[in-house]
Amino acid sequence: MDAHELITRNAAEVVTEEEIETLAADPDGKRAYVGYEPSGVLHIGHMLTANKLIDLQEAGFEVTVLLADVHAYLNDKGSFAEIRRTAERMRDQFIAYGLEESDTQFVLGSDFQLDEDYTLDLHALELETTLARAERAMAEITSGDSVKVSQAVYPLMQALDIPYLGVDLAVGGMEQRKVHMLARDVLPSIDREPPTSLHTPLIADLGTGRGKMSSSEGVTISMEDSRDDIESKVNKAYCPPTADPEPTEEGESRENPVLQVFEYHVFPRFETVVVERPEQYGGDLKYDAYDALEADLESGELHPADAKGALAEYLDRLIAPGREQLAE
């Protein structure tokens, strides 16, 4: 797989394709970053963007993980002392999950976001940005009906982090798209280059196939889960025998989250996936690529129950090192 394929594999969107092609032509020494609020335990959302960081490391990128303690504080996630302790635990979990430690720089937001130059640039962006523009970008972090001033500043800080970290590529889930577009709009006003960005897909709710899998709502999978927990959650997952389920009676679109987790979590990390089955049901199935597994589910060769059994097995393999680190 060449650099361009590694960079764009399983990406929902890149902005822009021309800029990505330039990075792919000479990726060695280029830097990519993802920012995470320190929130305790890695869950499947963190793991999706971490998989992309692993792809980028294989392509030759250096990776920066921003453990955004100031952002977490602005989002009312606890005291600085509590948040920083959580950030240290998350760092160890990312390494356990598979990020190459020698090519990964972990940075606390407070390492640079409280400096005078950063503060003055942030105020300059505030002067250039209407409240309505900031509100569009901050939709993913607000909760409840009352919007706080800190939440309006939050996306401007995310935009400013990009030049201050000196990165060439900003990575995030599709929920970060509005922030990256804000950054492309406002950073030129302070003579900073607009960022190239890459957005990963959103995994649907595991139990229903609707909306977005969330650690705060519904069912999610995290490094705290035991093997039994993972099996129980996957066995209850929504998995019709198709990659394109019918919408709900209310017209709400649905995805097959079991297939999504195979595509975005399992196949990027394992060269071969084996679905174990008793001989009377046809014996084991072996897949070297996601498309073949999807095709077998569609044709009926692969039963959803057997797909779920294999998914639980491979998720447990991915999560086990982090679970052991947490136990220590």
Q: What value, to the nearest 5°, has the Cα angle with vertex 317 and ends 311 and 321?
A: 145
Query: Which helix (H) or strand (E) segment is 24 a member of?
Result: helix 17-25
Res 137: pLDDT: 85
Q: Phi-psi bin for 289: left (phi > 0), alpha (psi -120 to 50), beta?
A: beta
**How far is it, in rounded angstroms, from Cα 33 to Cα 191?**
21
Query: Which residue type, as a one-letter code, is found at position 83?
Result: I
Q: How many CB atoms are closer than 10 A to CB 116?
A: 7
Query: Structure tokens of 254?
Result: 């649905």
- CA of 112: how far to CAs of 118, 122, 165, 192, in Å? 7, 12, 9, 17
Query: Which helix (H) or strand (E) segment is 219 a member of?
Result: none
The residue-averaged pLDDT of 198-226 equals 88
The conformation of residue 263, written as its DSSP 8-state character, comes to I
Kind of pairing between the strands at 196-200 and 285-287: unpaired
pLDDT for 258-305, tens place per residue? 999 999 999 999 999 999 999 999 999 999 999 999 999 999 999 999
Residues 6+ apart with CB under 8 A from 123: none
**How far is it, in rounded angstroms, from Cα 55 to Cα 3?**
9
- CA of 195: how far to CAs of 19, 50, 244, in Å? 9, 19, 34
With a cut of 80, say whether residue 32 has pLDDT above it: yes
With a cut of 90, say whether residue 328 has pLDDT above it: no
Query: Structure tokens of 80?
Result: 């600085």
Q: How confident is the model at residue 324 (pLDDT cuts 50, 70, 90)?
A: very high
With a cut of 70, say whether residue 9 has pLDDT above it: yes
Question: Residues annotated as binding site for ATP?
Answer: 215
pLDDT for 39-97, tens place per residue? 889 999 899 999 999 999 999 999 999 999 999 999 889 999 999 999 999 999 999 99
Q: How confident is the model at residue 101 (pLDDT cuts 50, 70, 90)?
A: very high
The residue-averaged pLDDT of 300-318 equals 98
Res 213: pLDDT: 85
Closest to 31 measured CA to CA, from 77, 53, 66, 64: 64
Closest to 206 measured CA to CA, from 236, 231, 243: 236
With a cut of 90, say whether residue 247 has pLDDT above it: yes
Question: Residues annotated as binding site?
Answer: 33, 154, 158, 161, 176, 215
Q: What are phi and psi of 16, to 5 degrees?
A: -110, 165
**How far is it, in rounded angstroms, from Cα 76 to Cα 151?**
10
Please count the residues of the chain. Answer: 328
Query: Which helix (H) or strand (E) segment is 201 a member of?
Result: none
Per mean pLDDT, which range of 9-23, 123-137, 300-314 is the poorest?
123-137
Question: Residues annotated as binding site for L-tyrosine?
Answer: 33, 154, 158, 161, 176
